[in-house]
Structure 1
């Protein structure tokens, strides 16, 4: 059964919010406490033991570990283990000069995580278990939540409580099992993700749809220029960053919803996406382009496609090897970076000529399904449909009205 994550707003009185914030503060103290003891252990013994047995021993010495649910404490312990594992991997590759994972800020409120147990959800009512030895003797709290109404779920698998610094409120995240829409389609499509062309989608009939990412780039550049004149991490700086994030997410939702609806219309059963894990670490194009790559929200885009696809009964996989797909000729297989003449054109000596992102999407399709989608249909591929954004808001002040629309042209 597909899993999706729902964001929910918490409706609780100030006393219950204070208890939740205190429990989140305890999670931060436990996380930092474990790191402190591991650093001390490394300084004294020259090595660090991140086994669960050793971490459980340290937990017994941390009084704040009794301030929130015991299973959530174990999840904090596992976060520390994963932080060290990632650190060891970076250290081995020479990608970090630090000697240990960093502490969380003292005033940070870490998320409270619950998996399978410690919580109960009845409609809009949520009950959470807390520590058994809290100073205020509060062992559980109950509050209401509200979330999007168009998702029907069977049960809640995981729940986390997080603090949003911008809004100053606590929010809930629910990982739920949903009933997927019945999908009897057999179609397939491959997607090449990019910055200027957000998605190049090659369908199994040889047609390709391009989703423009130019407006997302423009929005990000605009707000980055606004932030450049502000003190980093100031209140105004964070407000601008939050506004940029919301506008980019809005555009991503428009594009992904349109694409999934198109897949449903075409009877698509599976979507294949290139594997982009590690792309930021493996590519060095200079300071300016690297900054753009680090701000590129490809993981958020993939997650949106996955959960929206799950609701429509479409399988979304992102494990297709993407190496060299943008410089490989789809017709003859020749790998030559010079064939990519400029940003939007790929020309090979064999006679193959196509839009560069279309060429990449076709290569991903062939790698995913071991067959070419364009046999006998190169004419349609040469003129892909282009979906672009028409949006009318920019500026520091919140607009009263926005003109949001999609235009599709063949």
Structure 2
């Protein structure tokens, strides 16, 4: 069964919320305590022992380890091990000048993680175990949650309680098993992710669809201008950041849901997305464009496509290298950056002309499946269908009709 992560809002009285925050603070103290002892060990011996046996020995010396569930304490221990493993890997490649992983801030609230035990979910009611060693004697807490409707799951595999710095609220995240809807399709599709064109999609019959990213850019620009006049990390600053995050996520959900529904209608069984890992570190377009690139939510788009595709038995892959796909001619294979002309037009001396994102999507499709849905064409590809959405509840370009629901125009 496919696994998806549900984000849920927690409804708890102030006493229970205070207990949860204290347990999360204990997780921070345990994380930092383990790091402190490992640093001390390195100064004394010149070595760092991150074996579970050694870390368990250190845990016995940390009084805060009794402030939350024992299995969750072990997961905090494993976080420290993974932090050191990542640090060693970076150090070996010469990519860091630090001497050890960094401490978490003293006022940080670390997530409480539960895997298969220590929690119970009955409908909208969640009960968490906090162990038997807390000083206040609280052994478990119970509270109500709510998540987006329409999701039916078989079993909750994992649960975590996390603090959202932007909203200032505690949230629950549930990893659940869902029953996928049967899909007998055999088709394929490729997606090229971008900024102005959020998704350029090519189907195996040569059909092309665009999903505009202009509204996402407009929302981000608007709230960035608002925050420019506010004190950083003030209450108002955080509120505007939260609104921006929610509005962008809403647009991404609407876009990806529409695309997956279109794939189901067309009998698509597999989607391939170009792999963009490391793009932020590998390019430098100047301060202004770099800032836009760093807020580009491509990873959110990929994750949404993956879990929404899993619900309808569509495999979403992002293992195809996207390097040079936007500057490579799909017809003759010539690689030339100057072929990308004004307004995203790609034009090659061989006669091939296409929108640049379409050209990239076609190249991704061919790399993934060793065949092109439009191979043999030396002229323009078919005119793509453009899909855009209106967001009627933010401060940018309010629709005149006052329609609050997002509308798609194809």
Alignment TM class, shorter chain as reference: over 0.9
Once the two structures are overlaid, the 10-residue window that deviates more, 298-307 or 157-166, is: 157-166
* Per-residue deviation, 1:265: 0.8
The answer on whether the counterparts of 1:207 and 1:381 sit within 8 Å (CA) in structure 2 is no
SS at match of 1:79: helix
Per the alignment, residue 383 of structure 2 pairs with: 383
Distance 1:148-1:271 versus aligned 2 partners, 3 A rule: same
The answer on whether the counterparts of 2:352 and 2:379 sit within 8 Å (CA) in structure 1 is no
Which whole-Å CA distance do the structure 2 matches of 1:381 and 1:4 have between them? 37
Distance 1:401-1:104 versus aligned 2 partners, 3 A rule: farther
* Per-residue deviation, 1:74: 1.3
Once the two structures are overlaid, the 10-residue window that deviates more, 387-396 or 243-252, is: 387-396
The answer on whether the counterparts of 2:331 and 2:376 sit within 8 Å (CA) in structure 1 is no
Structure 2 portions without partners, runs of 5+:
none
* Per-residue deviation, 1:261: 0.9
Per the alignment, residue 37 of structure 1 pairs with: 37
SS at match of 2:407: strand
The answer on whether the counterparts of 2:280 and 2:294 sit within 8 Å (CA) in structure 1 is yes
Which whole-Å CA distance do the structure 1 matches of 2:74 and 2:230 have between them? 40
The answer on whether the counterparts of 2:32 and 2:104 sit within 8 Å (CA) in structure 1 is yes
Distance 1:47-1:15 versus aligned 2 partners, 3 A rule: same
Deviations 1:5-43 (A, max 9, x none): 111222223222222111111101111111212222233
The answer on whether the counterparts of 1:207 and 1:380 sit within 8 Å (CA) in structure 2 is no
Is 1:17 the counterpart of 2:24 in the alignment?
Answer: no
Q: What is the aligned length?
A: 407
* Per-residue deviation, 1:278: 1.6
SS at match of 1:391: coil
* Per-residue deviation, 1:377: 6.4
Deviations 1:165-206 (A, max 9, x none): 444432211100001011001111001111111001010001
Deviations 1:296-318 (A, max 9, x none): 11111111111111112211111
SS at match of 1:90: helix
The answer on whether the counterparts of 1:206 and 1:378 sit within 8 Å (CA) in structure 2 is no
SS at match of 1:114: strand
Structure 1 portions without partners, runs of 5+:
none
The answer on whether the counterparts of 1:157 and 1:177 sit within 8 Å (CA) in structure 2 is yes
* Per-residue deviation, 1:376: 5.6
The answer on whether the counterparts of 2:112 and 2:162 sit within 8 Å (CA) in structure 1 is yes
Is 1:140 the counterpart of 2:137 in the alignment?
Answer: no
Once the two structures are overlaid, the 10-residue window that deviates more, 40-49 or 291-300, is: 40-49
Distance 1:379-1:307 versus aligned 2 partners, 3 A rule: farther
The answer on whether the counterparts of 1:219 and 1:248 sit within 8 Å (CA) in structure 2 is yes
TM-score by length of 2: 0.93
SS at match of 1:201: strand
TM-score by length of 1: 0.93
Q: CA RMSD in A?
A: 2.1
